[in-house]
Structure 1
């Protein structure tokens, strides 16, 4: 068993913990921006494959206290880096520092880099090179006040890089956040699902991956742990085979996405083609004003423009008012969720919300606002 930390978007820590808990033998611990846990090699492989809201699965290398550069350098240099990084390999460092002792994060990161290469040179007679773009080994540094933790990245490219998108829509929602919205909605995977402003289809696609029990990493061809000295290809192959067997396309649920812009729908169709979901998600070119649900119950999740990225070109006040009118008039019996980074625009919807969940989309403070639409409630 080793100690790990899985990073995730802020606000999705509990969702992430719930998502990975089935693979754990011991209780997890939630922290800001992630979840700490202990796991076997098998569980680490599975969490990389199955985590829907995680970003990186990091293996803890060491943890210590330091309050100055000299102590930091000394302890880092004493770690046996030569067992982890060979002189012919490249490595990179990524840091997250919140400390009054280490106020210059660039200098602190450089100090740890010097300690690593000096340690390896002392042991092996030469030093490895830095490669920021495609390193053999990725080291993550987390410093909170005087507490220093160094991690080895087991993931590689972040887990939101599912592999089904070749072209990125300029306002596309991160896949991990999209999956988080679906999980936060408590959608039962049986009632109809809609995104009536779907863009390139990320929310609807993530809903389908959840509904059909498709691992989000099923299309990925590489994880960082596959370069580790203790990599077990037989174990990894068996996990992949098991995952494919557990995909269940018998679920008769209807998942729908629509958008006014034809190019967006083309992007969505291209993505579901890679996942062989062409007959599982209905994408169509449609103005949300023309939307009407097929049945009396369902879940609607939308991420309308909110003044960042492409949103400035719209009359957003009027847009949000029309959304509220559409929900009130045509969506009785449905659970509606609106994800936005503009709190003032939410008021324009004109409906009484039941819950507002605080989330962070990159650097933007956002809310997922829940409206249970009942006939006559908002007349």
Structure 2
């Protein structure tokens, strides 16, 4: 326990609670949910495991120093006085990512530049040489976070954002982020205990993430590298042990994961991505128009999908003839008439369009798809005519 240290996992707005649950399930200590982040404690092995297994984390940061700061000169001086030899050498390349929420500092790039100057000046003064900056593929990536007058400097143990799982070979226009997809699935209660359908699957991200949850596969197992693998204290044997232990916890999946899309190119990409993730045996993808389908199974069905938002397509000039009202009305009609015994969830930023579904959602959860404020909505379709009237919006 004495080897434990504090870490911070960054996430998307609205996913703090499910990320906290993920961390507790993995065995983290002192889990505290913040805004777009969750702090926790663990040892080096747990840091490896967090990067490998967390589905809703974007980054895993290891804070190394914190101090109050009110101006750029103070920032420079306090960063200069740190003992950077513990983390860098003159032969180490590094990069700095900065986020600021402060009246004293308003430009993150300027803070990054000032911090870089302090670090290289310190090495030049003490070693006679300075480390180089490499923004694309550094040996060490630093994270600076300034909130009001508090500055926290962390080592970024992840490197590239953890949504870059390593399995997605091909994408469609405006593909859903992998962390967002996993978070939506977990928010919907998907646990792999029934059949699953994404009726507008695009390049198949929801399908792949659903299969990984169902089989309890470490979500970043296909990723080529993590930033911590370049650290001087990286323990390759320990990391291999963590990977093997995580893979030993996978489980069999005895239901169906099905994807539809009416575009042949989307179907090809979804199939390629499922193959890249080594999940083809669990995922079936077909070229179908959802509005011309019926429920493919006799048992309970869990649906999660990401339909076109309308305004997102129109702004890009991709489909100027897109009829939002008719499209969302068809979603409601298809669910009512053809999908009894179904729990259907979908995300949309077009809140006005929800009125045309013709069903009353039993839940609405505020989330963000990139910069778009959105809602994850739930509709329960009962078997037969039972409670059917309760699904209909009362005029």
Q: What range describes the TM-score normalised by the shorter chain of this pair? A: over 0.9
2:261 maps to which residue? 259
2:120 is aligned with 1:107: no
Root-mean-square deviation (CA, aligned residues, Å) is: 1.5
- Partners in 2 of 1:278 and 1:109 — Cα distance? 43
How far 1:72 moved relative to its partner? 1.3
- Partners in 2 of 1:6 and 1:307 — Cα distance? 33
- Once the two structures are superposed, residues 127-149 of structure 1 have per-residue CA deviations (whole angstroms, 9 ceiling, x without a partner) of 11111111111111111111111
CA contact (8 A) 2:360 2:391 kept: yes
1:45 to 43, 48, 57: 48
Q: Which runs of 5+ in 1 are unaligned?
A: none
- Once the two structures are superposed, residues 322-353 of structure 1 have per-residue CA deviations (whole angstroms, 9 ceiling, x without a partner) of 00111111222211111011111112112101
How far 1:167 moved relative to its partner? 2.0
2:123 to 117, 120, 132: 120
- Once the two structures are superposed, residues 345-377 of structure 1 have per-residue CA deviations (whole angstroms, 9 ceiling, x without a partner) of 112112101111111122111110111222413
TM-score relative to the length of structure 1 = 0.96
TM-score relative to the length of structure 2 = 0.92
2:305 is aligned with 1:297: no
2:176 maps to which residue? 173
1:316 maps to which residue? 324
Query: 5 Å matches for 1:261-300?
Result: 261-293=263-295, 294-300=297-303
2:176 is aligned with 1:163: no
CA contact (8 A) 2:188 2:345 kept: yes
- Partners in 1 of 2:312 and 2:129 — Cα distance? 47
CA contact (8 A) 1:196 1:291 kept: no
- Partners in 1 of 2:42 and 2:344 — Cα distance? 37
SS of alignment partner, residue 28 of structure 1 = strand
How far 1:152 moved relative to its partner? 0.6
- Superposition misfits of 4+ residues, deviation over 6 angstroms: none
- Once the two structures are superposed, residues 48-104 of structure 1 have per-residue CA deviations (whole angstroms, 9 ceiling, x without a partner) of 000111111111011111111122111111111122111122111111101001123
- Partners in 1 of 2:194 and 2:298 — Cα distance? 9
- Partners in 2 of 1:105 and 1:235 — Cα distance? 36
1:327 maps to which residue? 335
2:352 is aligned with 1:344: yes
SS of alignment partner, residue 29 of structure 1 = strand
2:185 is aligned with 1:182: yes
- Once the two structures are superposed, residues 23-69 of structure 1 have per-residue CA deviations (whole angstroms, 9 ceiling, x without a partner) of 34422111111111111011111010001111111110111111111
- 22-31 vs 133-142, which deviates more? 22-31
How far 1:315 moved relative to its partner? 1.5
2:242 is aligned with 1:242: no
How many residue pairs get aligned? The number is 378
